[in-house]
A and B are shown apart, each in its own frame.
Chain A
Amino acid sequence: MSTLSQLSLTWVSLADKPVLETGATVFAFLAATRIARLGGNHPLLNPTLLAIILISLVLEATRIPYETYLHGADVIHFMLGPAVVLLAVPLFRQRAVIRASARLIAVALAVGLPVGVLSAVGIAWALGANSQTILSLAPKSVTAGIAVGISEQIGGLQTLTIVLVIMTGITGAVLGPMIARLARIEDPRVVGLAMGIASHGIGTARALQINETAGAFSGLAMGLNGVLTAILLPVVCSVLGFAR
């Protein structure tokens, strides 16, 4: 047996196991984190965004279809579920602070939730997007797991919603600290709340880098925004006659 055919056999057997894809994802994120640290953790050097670009470049160069990668990287995607459950821990640690800030949290949600949905829907509608794209955009600020369910309920495209949710998350993670600096807002509770409401888990990951208070408020805002949007959006859509 030639070395080449042995190699290709090894490759085929490896392709059945998610080792390469998982390893590549971890390695890419590790490299992305190093690059971000070298750049002083600048918001534009978002590790998630950098890792996505790195993986995409590797897939392009090696001509590995993205379906193969996604299938293999399922292990990492699966960990999102337990990670969302574990967001209860920072929430619990900050419970005294959160109880003391109940009014602030309520106000942030009362502003951020409707503004988040209406601004996206309004801009897309004004620029002539078709209705399915608009409906897919409506839950863009909600954490991916919840957003997909909402999108299905109101008649959007689930796959498109996933992409839009991630784009929103990266946008919020990049813009959040910039807008906070621009508006001269230093309260980590306010920054965390806004980032969690506007950009879900990716924003929360960024807020956790600021400090634990920002991360906890962001996680709390993400959770409450997700639950409330899941309850409210299908009702509003059916009242306006959009629902299926």
Chain B
Amino acid sequence: MLEQIARVLCWLSVGEIAARSGLLPLPAPVIGLILLYAELAIRGKLPDDLGVLADRLLQFLGMLFVPAGVGVLAHLHVLKTEALPILAAIVGGTAITLFLTMVIANWLCVAIAKRREPDAGQLEGAVRDVNT
């Protein structure tokens, strides 16, 4: 398990160095994510311990946002002056984004599924033709 913690911190550190030196215009954890994925893809196998570590930590991912979330208290006065545009943009914008993304992506799924069905029908027809 300690080995896996070291692995995660190692890639995070590499990401930190790459980000701070201006090598990559990406946040350090994202660089770390890409590097860990690349390592796993090259190995072709997920170490059991790493899977357990990820499951444990990601289970309470929501808790990790709590300290920053409490920071909302510090900005209440700033938020109050532009409450309407901010709330409308966040609630309206997020609802529109969720809805359009879901509907269009789902429409694509249905379209792909439908295109596959006639293919299967044609194949069956071809098989029948061969048989007769």
Interface residues of chain A, those whose CB is within 8 Å of chain B, are 21, 25-26, 28-29, 46-49, 51-52, 55-56, 59, 66-67, 69-70, 73-74, 76-77, 79-93, 95, 103-104, 107-108, 111-112, 115-116, 119-124, 127-130, 133, 137, 140-141, 143-146, 148-149, 159-160, 162-164, 166-172, 175-176, 179-180, 183, 185, 187, 189-191, 193-195, 197-199, 201-202, 204-206, 208, 215, 223, 226-227, 230-231
Contacts and interface: CB of A to CB of B under 8 A. Distances in A.
A160 B57 contact: no
A137 B78 CA distance: 14
B98 A167 contact: no
Contacts of A25: 63, 66-67
A107 B29 contact: no
Interface residues of B, number: 72
A145 B86 contact: no
Given A116-B97, A146-B27, A183-B99, A88 B33 contact: yes
A153 to B, nearest CB: 8
Given A86-B54, A127-B84, A190 B106 contact: yes
A66 B74 CA distance: 7
A103 B11 contact: no
B75 A79 contact: no
B66 to A, nearest CB: 5
Contact of A83 (B28, B58, B97, B99): B58
B8 to A, nearest CB: 5
B90 A171 contact: yes
Contact of A129 (B55, B86, B100): B86
Given A81-B12, A160-B75, A175-B95, A52 B69 contact: yes
Contacts of B41: 92, 95
B30 A194 contact: no
Interface string B1-36: 000010011011001000000000111111011101
B40 interface: yes
Interface string B73-106: 1110011001011101111111111111111111
Across the A-B interface, give the 10 residue pairs with the lowest CB-CB distance, nearest first: A84-B29, A89-B54, A120-B93, A73-B67, A127-B85, A129-B85, A85-B32, A205-B62, A119-B93, A112-B101
24 contacts: A47-B63, A51-B66, A55-B70, A73-B66, A81-B32, A82-B57, A83-B57, A85-B8, A89-B36, A92-B46, A103-B112, A104-B105, A104-B112, A107-B105, A108-B101, A115-B97, A129-B89, A140-B93, A141-B97, A145-B27, A172-B94, A194-B98, A215-B58, A223-B33
Interface of B: 5, 8-9, 11-12, 15, 25-30, 32-34, 36-37, 40-41, 46, 50-51, 53-55, 57-75, 78-79, 82, 84-86, 88-106, 108-109, 112
Contacts of B32: 81, 84-85
